[in-house]
Amino acid sequence: MTGTRSFDAAVAFHGHRCPGLALGYRAADVGLEVLDANPSDDEEVVAVVENDACGVDGIQVRTGCTFGKGNLRFLDHDKHVYTFYNRATGRGVRVVSRPDFSTVRFDPGFGALRERVQGGTASPEERDMYDRRLRAVCDAILGAPADDLFVVTPLEAPLPEAAQIHRSVVCDACGESVSEHRVVERDGRRLCIPCAGR
């Protein structure tokens, strides 16, 4: 795939090429294929991500889902689990990284080489080699059969309801405006979350 949804576009958006980015990008590929969804139709696809690591940038570029559009949702579970919904059909699919996934499958020495490069102890030759092997590992992930990377489960349940539009109120401590559903009541004062935590 070329253009604004390509993996190269994801690398540019993310700032570097890495296996995590490739895995997220591939998860989105798999999800869209199962849902028969077309990400060029804005906001038709919704992605729910359960981590905030490299892979999510691949998902944003591949699906077009973003926080600003309201079709990217974050659950702070720190799990490599991605759920995609197609609003047009009401179908969903859960894409879970296989627990035994490792770059070792594609390049047994890659992890050790990466440690030397990132630790600053690699020779110039090793750094050159790393770039080539990094590219090869990412390409292998992008080309791997879905079942080698993920457990893919179509869902029956529809998309959970999106958050409603909430009125904003002014925090009694800092004077900044905050959405009503995030206000904490304390001793008769209405506080934003950071102020309530002090």
Contacts with Zn ion, residue ranges (CB under 5 A)? 18, 21, 54, 171, 173-174, 192, 195
* Shortest Cβ 197–Zn ion spacing (Å): 10
Rounded CA-CA distance 53/80 in Å is 9
CB atoms within 10 A of CB 88: 13
Sequence-distant (6+) residues with CB within 8 A of 26 are 58, 141, 142, 144, 146, 149, 150
Shortest Å distance, C-beta 61 to Zn ion: 13
Give least dist CB 100 to Zn ion, A.
21
The three-point CA angle 84-139-105 to 5° equals: 90
Structural contact between residues 47 and 71, judged by C-beta atoms closer than 8 angstroms: yes
In the complex, the smallest distance separating the C-beta of residue 16 from Zn ion, rounded to whole angstroms, is 5
Nearer to Zn ion, 20 or 92 (CB): 20
Q: Which is nearer to Zn ion, 145 or 197 (CB)?
A: 197
Looking at beta carbons only, is 81 or 195 nearer to Zn ion?
A: 195
Cβ closest to Zn ion, residue 87 vs residue 130: 130
